[in-house]
Amino acid sequence: MPPSDETPPSAEEFASVFDAYEVRREGERVLYVGESAIPIQQLERELWPLFRERGYELSVQRGYQRTDGIPISRGEYVLVAEPNSMELDGIPRTNLLLFVATIFSTTFAGAYFWYQVPLFEKPWLAVKAWPFVVAILGVLGVHELGHYVMSRYHNVQASLPYFIPLPTYIGSMGAVIKMEGKIPDRKALFDIGAAGPLAGLAATVVVTAIGLQLDPIPAQEAAVAQAETGVRFNHPPLLELIALATGATEQLEANTIHPVVFGGWVGMLVTLLNMLPVGQLDGGHILRAMVGKQQERIAAVVPAVLFGLAAYLLVVADGIDSVGIWTMWGLFAVGLAYAGPADPIDDSELGWKRTVLGVLTFVLAALCFTPIPVEIVELA
């Protein structure tokens, strides 16, 4: 149910901008069929505050089909008002199933790749990887919860985090939340966008600092000593700064580190990628809030920069092992830039305090960058 007034606006309240000659209900939705008296691009911005105050989300559609597929309108405009309920609709089964699946996939990744557990012989020993699981799920979960909490604060509908299991070195492809409501203004867009990377970075710093105080596990040291080649995850500047601040520089420079440190490394990579200023990534939200429509011009350059970096690694820097990462994200950035950013209803200026915080957030993200994150190296 709507959080405030349960009565939707009457057609007479906005007759000066929209001539609604039919009002009907479809479940909890209220449909206003009619014609707009102002340019349609302005209509939603004009009426959204009124419906928001009454506890409804508003969208403007050209034509409308009922849930049974029968059209009630073909050419007319329809205002579709839906209750803006911030309550969870029952048990989030999909979220829970994906979270449990991600626990299993990260446990497998930690046990098999990092703790060298003989899973086929003694699968119960996989529980040894619990620190790795907590580190990975911690940095990913705190990042998404930052978005979720700030969405709730601004009364914007959003789902709980969806974790994505994948049994690789990390055990997950990350986590996402679905933004289901419109963004009221630039401040809300900025707060929701920045909360994720800032919260995630805070968790990343904690996880990394703890991991650097732990000794490498014997099974991993033995595996590295016996292998001729291995995967090396190179250190971004932020990781080196944390090691310097905690007196763990020598351990970081050694061939092996505790798997918990890798959880921090993952948090830095996730932050960096999410802060690309394109589309509806966190960086896209933040930059859109900071500079307005100019964000789209900057976003158009991002794919070229990523493709250029991939070409540089391939041709000049002998970083072929990381070429695929930047090529894939270049392609991803093309799609995101084409789709465009989230547009707030109120596009007023952001204000200097949040702008400064936005610049700081991009600086922190830059400290998570290393041109060759991953490479295959000779260990002998």
Query: What is the DSSP track for 82-100?
Result: EE---S--S--HHHHHHHH
CA pair distance 290, 359, nearest whole angstrom: 9
Look at residue 353 in the predicted model and tell me its pLDDT: 95
Greater confidence, 86 or 306? 306
Name the pLDDT band for 4 (thresholds 50, 70, 90). Answer: very low
Q: Report if residue 5 sits inside a domain.
A: no
Among 58-62, 313-317, 375-379, whose mean pLDDT is lowest? 375-379
Instruction: Using the 3D structure, point to which of 83, 109, 130 is the last residue of a domain.
Output: 83
Is the domain of 61 the same as that of 30? yes
3-class DSSP state for residue 130?
A: helix
Q: Of 2-16, 171-185, 200-214, which range is least confident?
A: 2-16
CA–CA separation, 67 and 143 (whole Å):
36
Compute the average pLDDT of residues 172-191.
89
Q: Is the pLDDT of residue 20 over 60?
A: yes
My answer on whether 300 and 163 are in the same domain is yes
Whole-number pLDDT of residue 157 = 85
Residues 61 and 124 reside in one and the same domain: no
Residue 327: the pLDDT is: 94
Under a CB-based contact definition with an 8 Å cutoff, are residues 27 and 13 in contact? no
Q: State the residue range of the domain holding 219.
A: 93-378
Residue finishing a domain among 83, 113, 130: 83
If asked whether residues 75 and 177 sit together in one domain, one would say no
79 and 196 in a common domain:
no
pLDDT at 268 > cutoff 90:
yes
Question: What is the pLDDT, as a whole number, of residue 185?
Answer: 92
Where is average pLDDT lowest: 4-8, 55-59, 370-374?
4-8
SS3 content of the chain, % helix, strand, coil (to 5): 55, 15, 30
214 and 190, same domain (yes or no): yes
Tokens of 90: 């029952």
Could you tell me if 30 and 101 lie in one domain? no
Count of structural domains, the chain: 2
> What global pTM score does this model have?
0.87
Report how far residue 311's alpha carbon sits from residue 130's, in angstroms, rounded to the nearest whole number: 39
Determine the average pLDDT of the residues in 124-145: 94
- Position 88 in a domain: no
Query: What is the pLDDT, as a whole number, of residue 298?
Result: 92
Please check whether residue 272 lies inside any domain of the structure: yes
How high does pLDDT run on average in the chain?
Answer: 87
Instruction: Give the least confident one: 61-70, 107-116, 181-190, 366-375.
Output: 61-70
Sign of CA dihedral 228, 233, 237, 241: negative
pLDDT tens-digit profile of 88-113?
Answer: 666 788 999 999 999 999 999 999 88
Instruction: Please determine, for residue 228, whether its predicted confidence score (pLDDT) is greater than 90.
Output: no
Q: Are 285 and 190 in contact (CB under 8 A)?
A: yes
Q: Residue 236: is its pLDDT beyond 90? A: yes
Q: Are residues 222 and 345 in the same domain?
A: yes
Asked whether residue 173 falls in the same domain as residue 35, the answer is no
Residues 119, 20 share a domain: no
